[in-house]
Amino acid sequence: MSAAKEDYIAYRIAKSDEVFADEALLALNNRWNSCVNRLYYSSFYLVSALLYRSGIKADTHNGAKTQFFQHFVKTGAVPAEQGKLYTHLFDWRQESDYADFIEFDEPTIKPMLEKVSAFNLLLKSLIKK
């Protein structure tokens, strides 16, 4: 793998870690819609790094989700349950960013923190294979 490719992947992993840490600050301040956004992006950066590492092109968020499902969820490399988690994050991020009168709350989002953390660890392990 070229140094430029490795640098890009390392950058995406670092970006994921950074925005996941931001989520904790937002949760402490009950900023649940913003927390959803950060949770989604923490996984999106890793999904995009995994696709890039695998030579799979995706130009949009929806394209990344589609390619991720085709190449990793449908093949069994990622459990279907975690694929559904990514779909929820994708949909919730869209709602929290673009829909009016959508307010996420602690009972809905707080349980997602551990699930997203575990999902991100799985993605990192796939990136390093």
Per residue in 18-63, pLDDT (tens digit) is 999 999 999 999 999 999 999 999 999 999 999 999 999 999 999 9
- Residue 1 is predicted with a pLDDT of 67
- pLDDT tens, position by position, 7-16: 999 999 999 9
The conformational region for residue 60 under phi > 0 = left, psi -120 to 50 = alpha, else beta, is beta
Domain ranges, ordered by start, for the chain: 3-128
Cα 92 from Cα 85, distance rounded (Å): 10
pTM of this prediction?
Answer: 0.94
Cα 91 from Cα 78, distance rounded (Å): 19
Identity (one letter) of the amino acid at 105?
D
Segment 86-114 mean pLDDT: 92
What is the C-alpha end-to-end distance of the chain, expressed in Å?
12
Q: What is the mean pLDDT of the chain?
A: 95
Fold held by 3-128: Four Helix Bundle (Hemerythrin (Met), subunit A) (1.20.120)
Q: Which of 30-34, 94-98, 111-115, 124-128 bottoms out in mean pLDDT, i.e. has the lowest?
A: 94-98
- Residue 98 is predicted with a pLDDT of 87
Query: Any idea what DSSP says for residue 56?
Result: -
Sign for the CA dihedral angle at 111, 116, 122, 125 comes to negative
- Residue 100 is predicted with a pLDDT of 85
